[in-house]
Amino acid sequence: MEDKETTLTPEQQKSLDAVKEQVAQAMDKDFVEDLIKNNKSEFTHKDIKYRICKMNYEQKQEVYRERVKKFTMLLRDSAYSLEKDLKKDYLARGIDIDDMTKKIQALETKKNDLLFKLGELLKKDGSEQDCEVYKKEISLIMEDQKGIATEKQILLEFTLENQVLVHMYNYMTYVSAEKLEGDKWVKAYKSFDEFAKSDDDILISKLAFLVTMSFQDAV
């Protein structure tokens, strides 16, 4: 079956553009390069140092209970379709979601290989020219990846599973985010409500990026 161009509604296109802009702002070159070079999950934002800490057993149980709570709540809401049902509807229109997933995975494998090589080069203080070659290739792959992943995200935005997944990553970000006050690390947010109401999109995006890098198998 041939791929057909996906037609997005104005609302979906606006959401797509917003996601791209947010990612572009948050994933600046220096931020990503520092993560690779120093292999750490700490960064400074508005003169405050933040980090994502490894969740302990109690925190993992808290996240699990929140996941069950969200899934159960949405399961009672007929407004959300299960992903498998929505995929069938899209496939009937010539849009293959599973094929998008395979393309993303293939790009991820290629990107990870280049990131490893770039990381080794940075640790050895390789020449800027050599580093730029890898950076350019990685950047191109990430652009392709973002394009496919964002389109897939928009198409599956309202599935029950996606709503639970988004909520879980947000909740894990809240649970594991810490900031440095004096010489002591404390929770970055006192409550999930405070986290959810934060208007600092750049900080949230950077914290969320670290969570997805650190806890991909947690959900």
DSSP string of 100-160, one letter each residue:
HHHHHHHHHHHHHHHHHHHHHHHHTT--HHHHHHHHHHHHHHHHHHHHHHHHHHHHTTTBH
Tell me if 25 is assigned to some domain. no
Q: Does one domain contain both 10 and 88?
A: yes
pTM as predicted: 0.59
Domain boundary among 131, 157, 183: 157
pLDDT tens, residue by residue, 46-80:
999 999 888 889 999 999 999 999 999 998 888 88
Q: Does one domain contain both 217 and 166?
A: yes
Q: Does one domain contain both 4 and 104?
A: yes
State percent of the chain over pLDDT 90: 48
Q: Does one domain contain both 5 and 85?
A: yes
Residue 194 has pLDDT above 60, yes or no: yes
Q: Does one domain contain both 86 and 176?
A: no
Higher pLDDT, 129 or 174: 174
Q: Does one domain contain both 85 and 149?
A: yes
Q: Does one domain contain both 121 and 177?
A: no
pLDDT tens, residue by residue, 12-57:
555 545 544 444 444 444 555 555 444 457 889 999 999 988 888 9
pLDDT value of residue 181: 95
Q: Does one domain contain both 136 and 212?
A: no
Q: Does one domain contain both 75 and 167?
A: yes
Tell me if 216 is assigned to some domain. yes
Range of the structural domain that residue 137 is part of: 1-15+81-157
- Quote the CA–CA distance of 115 and 133 in Å, as a whole number: 12
pLDDT value of residue 12: 53
Domain boundary among 137, 157, 177: 157
Q: Does one domain contain both 49 and 75?
A: yes
Average pLDDT value for the chain: 82
Half-sphere exposure of 33 (CA within 13 A, CB side): 13
pLDDT value of residue 53: 87
pLDDT value of residue 203: 93
Count how many domains the chain has. Answer: 2
